[in-house]
Amino acid sequence: MNAAIITIGDELLNGQTIDTNSSWLAQELNLLGINIALKFSCGDSQEPVRDALQLSSERADLIITTGGLGPTKDDITKKSICDFLSDELRFDQGTYDNILALLKSRGRGMTELHKNQCYMPGSAKLIANSQGTAPGMWMEHEGKIYLALPGVPREMKAIMKPLGLGMIANRFSGEYIIHSFIQTAGCGETIISEAIQPIVDRFPASLSIAYLPSIASVKLRITAKGKDFDILQTWVKKFTDEISFEIKEHVYGFGELTLSEAVGQLCLRYKIKLATAESCTGGLLAQLITSISGASSYYQGSIVAYSNELKMNLLRVPDDLLALQGAVSEAVVKQMVRGAIAATNADVAIATSGIAGPTGGSIDKPVGTIWIAVGTRETQETVKLQLNKDRIGNVQYTAVTALNMMRKFIEKNFA
Q: What is the contact surface with ligand ATP in residues (CB under 6 A)?
A: 7, 9, 11-12, 17, 19-21, 66-70, 72-73, 134, 150-153
Mark the segment that binds Mg ion (CB under 5 A) among 61-69, 108-116, 197-205, 318-326: 61-69
139 binds, among ligand ATP, Mg ion, none (CB under 5 to 8 A by kind): none
State which residue, 16 or 86, has the beta carbon closest to Mg ion. Answer: 16
Select the binding partner of residue 153 from ligand ATP, Mg ion, none (C-beta < 5 to 8 A, by kind): ligand ATP
Q: Which residues pair with 139 in a beta bridge?
A: 146
Read off φ and ψ for residue 4, nearest 5 degrees: -125, 145
Q: Which residues contact 169 (CB under 8 A, 6 or more apart)?
A: 32, 175, 176, 177
What is the nearest approach in angstroms of ligand ATP to the Cβ of residue 116? 11
Q: Where are the strands (E) in 186-287, listed by range?
A: 207-214, 217-226, 251-254, 274-278
Binding status of residue 48 toward Mg ion by CB under 5 A: no
Compute the distance between CA of residue 399 and CA of residue 216 in angstroms, rounded to an integer.
9
Q: Which is nearer to Mg ion, 152 or 374 (CB)?
A: 152
Q: State which residue, 45 or 382, has the beta carbon closest to ligand ATP.
A: 45
Neighbours of 343 (CB within 10 A): 18
CB contact at 8 A, 3 and 169: no
| Pick 151 or 339: Cβ nearer Mg ion | 151
User: Do residues 187 and 193 touch, judged by C-beta distance below 8 A?
Assistant: no
Q: Which of 121, 132, 136, 151 binds Mg ion (CB under 5 A)?
A: 151
For ligand ATP, give the closer residue by CB, 5 or 145. 5
d(CA 98, CA 183): 37
Binding pattern to Mg ion, positions 65-84, x when CB under 5 A? --x-----------------
Provide the minimum distance between the beta carbon of 13 and ligand ATP in the complex, in angstroms, as a whole number.
11
Minimum distance between the CB of residue 226 and Mg ion, rounded to whole angstroms?
38
Q: By the 8 A CB rule, do 153 and 21 touch?
A: yes
DSSP SS3 for 238: helix
Distances (CA, A) of 248 to 186, 240, 241, 242: 12, 11, 10, 10
Per partner kind, with CB cut-offs from 5 to 8 A, the member of ligand ATP, Mg ion, none near residue 20 is ligand ATP
- Reduced to 3 states, what is the DSSP secondary structure of residue 26? helix
Give the DSSP letter of residue 106: T
- Contact between 253 and Mg ion (CB under 5 A)? no
**Among Mg ion, ligand ATP, none, what binds residue 51 when CB lies within 5 to 8 Å by partner kind?**
none
Q: Please identify which residue in 3, 5, 6, 9 interacts with Mg ion, judged by CB under 5 A.
A: 9
Shortest distance, position 365 Cβ to ligand ATP, whole Å: 43
> Which helix H or strand E contains 309, and what residues bound it?
helix 308-315
Q: How far is the CB of 347 from ligand ATP (least distance, A)?
A: 42
67/253 with CB nearer Mg ion: 67
401, interface contact from ligand ATP, Mg ion, none, CB < 5-8 Å by kind: none
The site partner of 135 among Mg ion, ligand ATP, none (C-beta below 5 to 8 Å per kind) is none
Could you give the 3-state DSSP secondary structure of residue 329?
A: coil
In whole angstroms, what is the distance from residue 154 CA to residue 369 CA? 39
Distances (CA, A) of 102 to 73, 113, 120, 163: 20, 15, 18, 20
Choice between 18 and 415, CB closer to ligand ATP = 18
Asked if the bond preceding 358 is cis, omega within 30° of 0, the reply is yes
CB 81, min distance to ligand ATP, A: 13
Residue ranges that bind Mg ion, judged by CB under 5 A: 9, 67, 151
